[in-house]
Structure 1
């Protein structure tokens, strides 16, 4: 038999397969990936640095949907808000990756480059260097929590109509659709307002 015209294994296929597994089951293993791709487990290790390397492939695939051009908008808070919305949408499409990616060190060069741009944005706005990572980390906490909320059922609370929580029932009925979006808008607006206040203090 001739050699296959296309390699059986590369990082693109490994990352895509890992993402399919995580989207379906919430996790992956190297043997599972190998089985799906029809190769030996050892062959996967020839292309990636173990589980940590595959997690970085996942990160690259998910964050590729974030629009880095949002960080070029002006003023800084408009850019940060647009980036946050794009970031949230990317992770909302793959919410089961969040526990894996949020607890693993970021090493992917393309992802680090995007953080570099976010740091430059905040420094250019006047935030002191020792405050920048706190701002970005707090924003990520908000984004990733909201992305998980988007994956949750629209109705997260189920009070009995004649139960002991009539005020909760009324509040739930009043909010209408897009509960998660409304909560994200409120949190993001409050976060940016607080950051503007901090920036005023820094530059006063």
Structure 2
């Protein structure tokens, strides 16, 4: 019997299967991937560096949806705004990966390169080195929190009796559609305003 035209296992298939499991269950294990692919668990270790290696493959796969060209835009705040929107869209497509990826150190070279570009953007704009990582992490908090919000039910507040919480009922009515999108844009603008103010203060102090 000749060899199959398509290899039974490779990193792409392993990553795709792991992502399917996380999208469905919020988690994965190496034996679960092996069962779904119809192979022995040990066979996966010929292609990936265990569970941690698969987590980094997932990080690369989801992060590939982020348009890193946005970090080449100028001025810096327009670059961050565009990057944040693209970042949010990429993770909103797979929100259940967020808790998994946020509790594992970043090792994927392509993802580290994206951080390198973001750091360079802020340093070139004049941000002092101690402020750079707090600015990036704060932006990620806005982005990833909003990506999770997009996965939440549209009606997050169920009021059994409007008269018991009349102001909440009125506010929910007034919010209308696209609540999550509007909340994200508000948080993003507040973040950028604060970052601009910090940069201006640093420049005036210098």
TM-score (norm 1): 0.98
Distance in 1 (CA, whole Å) between partners of 2:162 and 2:178 is 25
Aligned-pair Cα RMSD in Å: 0.8
| Offset, 1:46 | 1.4
| Offset, 1:129 | 1.0
| Offset, 1:119 | 0.4
| Offset, 1:161 | 3.9
CA change 1:111–1:166 in 2 (3 A) is same
Match of 2:58 in 1: 58
What is the SS of the residue equivalent to 1:65?
coil
Mapping of residues 39-58 of structure 1, within 5 Å: 39-58=39-58
Match of 1:17 in 2: 17
Cα deviation 1:44-65 (Å, max 9, x = unaligned): 1111111110000110110000
Mapping of residues 58-97 of structure 1, within 5 Å: 58-97=58-97
Match of 2:37 in 1: 37
Distance in 2 (CA, whole Å) between partners of 1:88 and 1:74 is 20
Cα deviation 1:146-172 (Å, max 9, x = unaligned): 000000011100123444100000000
Q: Is the 8 A contact 1:161 1:169 kept in 2?
A: no
Distance in 1 (CA, whole Å) between partners of 2:162 and 2:187 is 32
Q: Quick check: 79-88 or 3-12, which moved more? A: 3-12
TM-score (norm 2): 0.97
Distance in 2 (CA, whole Å) between partners of 1:2 and 1:154 is 53
Distance in 2 (CA, whole Å) between partners of 1:84 and 1:71 is 10
Tell me the number of residue pairs that the alignment of Structure 1 and Structure 2 aligns. 204
Match of 1:146 in 2: 146
Cα deviation 1:7-52 (Å, max 9, x = unaligned): 1111111100000000011111101101111111001111111111
Q: Is the 8 A contact 1:146 1:184 kept in 2?
A: yes
Distance in 1 (CA, whole Å) between partners of 2:163 and 2:60 is 47
Match status 1:28 vs 2:28: yes
The structure 1 segments of at least 4 consecutive aligned residues displaced by more than 2 Å after TM superposition are 160-163
Q: Is the 8 A contact 2:15 2:58 kept in 1?
A: yes
Match status 1:124 vs 2:120: no
* Structure 2: tracts of 5 or more residues without a match: none
Match of 1:179 in 2: 179
What is the SS of the residue equivalent to 2:96?
helix
What is the SS of the residue equivalent to 1:95?
coil
Match of 2:109 in 1: 109
